[in-house]
């Protein structure tokens, strides 16, 4: 009787051990994409919440340090680019990034509120350039010559707005220089002029903010 009881107990223990051996333990889901290298973020990786530091383009040739609080994705014809912006010393600055054949980065830090009159242009001048679509068109401003690049309808999606916005867009590049001058006109709104300064992508350091 005792022997039979021991055999039953040993049998039950054997069954328990075998069940534990073959039980399927849950495993964490496999990652579906590459792990982001937070130590080597590129300008194209910038997003709202990130701290951005750009060498030597702040006031008095200091580094430009700001925290991005919004982003904008823009498409004008076949051209696409993104911008992140944030506050810096009481004004708004931004970084523009396009990634076509290679990454191109430009920053806007100029505190001036420019008008067409400041540029020596009129609405009629812009209309004629748009009709001609001639890259030989140019004008002088700030002691520099600005060459016409393109003009067309653009669509922009801002991270802090629920709907995309449309406007007409003109782009000019500094002749033999790194700067970019853009003009946009939304219906019922004044012209908005923005000066960007082209910089090497390597001059940008991004620190990922909290998600």
Give residue 38's pLDDT.
81
Give residue 99's pLDDT.
80
| 2 inside domain | no
Can you give the residue range of the structural domain that contains 171? 38-207
Taken in order 144, 141, 71, 186, the sign of the CA dihedral is: negative
Residue ranges for the chain with pLDDT beneath 70: 1-35, 211
SS3 content of the chain, % helix, strand, coil (to 5): 20, 40, 35
Give residue 37's pLDDT.
78
Q: CA–CA distance from 155 to each of 76, 165, 188 (Å)?
A: 7, 6, 16
| 1 inside domain | no
| 97 inside domain | yes
| 33 inside domain | no
Number of separate domains in the chain: 1
| 3 inside domain | no
Give residue 22's pLDDT.
47
The gap from C-alpha 120 to its chain's centroid, in whole angstroms, comes to: 31
| 186 inside domain | yes
| 12 inside domain | no
Q: Output the pTM of the full model.
A: 0.80
Give residue 4's pLDDT.
47
| 174 inside domain | yes
Name the 3-class secondary structure at 21: helix
What are the helix (H) ranges across the chain? 2-22, 116-119, 123-132
């Amino acid at each position: 009787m005792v022997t039979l009881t021991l055999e039953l107990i040993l049998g039950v223990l054997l069954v328990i051990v075998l069940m534990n051996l073959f039980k399927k333990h849950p495993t964490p889901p496999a990652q579906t994409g590459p792990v982001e290298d937070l130590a080597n973020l590129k300008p194209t990786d910038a997003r709202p919440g990130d701290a951005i530091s750009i060498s030597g383009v702040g006031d008095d040739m200091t580094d430009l340090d700001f925290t991005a609080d919004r982003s904008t994705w823009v498409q004008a014809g076949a051209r696409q680019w993104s911008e992140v912006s944030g506050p810096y010393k009481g004004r708004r600055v931004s970084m523009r990034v396009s990634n076509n054949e290679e990454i191109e980065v430009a920053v806007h830090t100029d505190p001036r509120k420019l008008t067409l009159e400041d540029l020596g242009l009129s609405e009629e001048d812009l209309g004629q350039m748009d009709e001609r679509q001639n890259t030989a068109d140019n004008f002088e401003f700030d002691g520099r010559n600005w060459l016409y690049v393109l003009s067309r309808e653009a669509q922009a999606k801002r991270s802090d707005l629920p709907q995309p916005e449309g406007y007409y867009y003109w782009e000019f590049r500094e002749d033999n220089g790194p700067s970019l001058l853009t003009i946009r006109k939304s219906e019922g709104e004044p012209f908005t002029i923005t000066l960007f300064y082209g910089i090497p992508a390597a001059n940008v350091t991004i620190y990922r903010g909290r998600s």
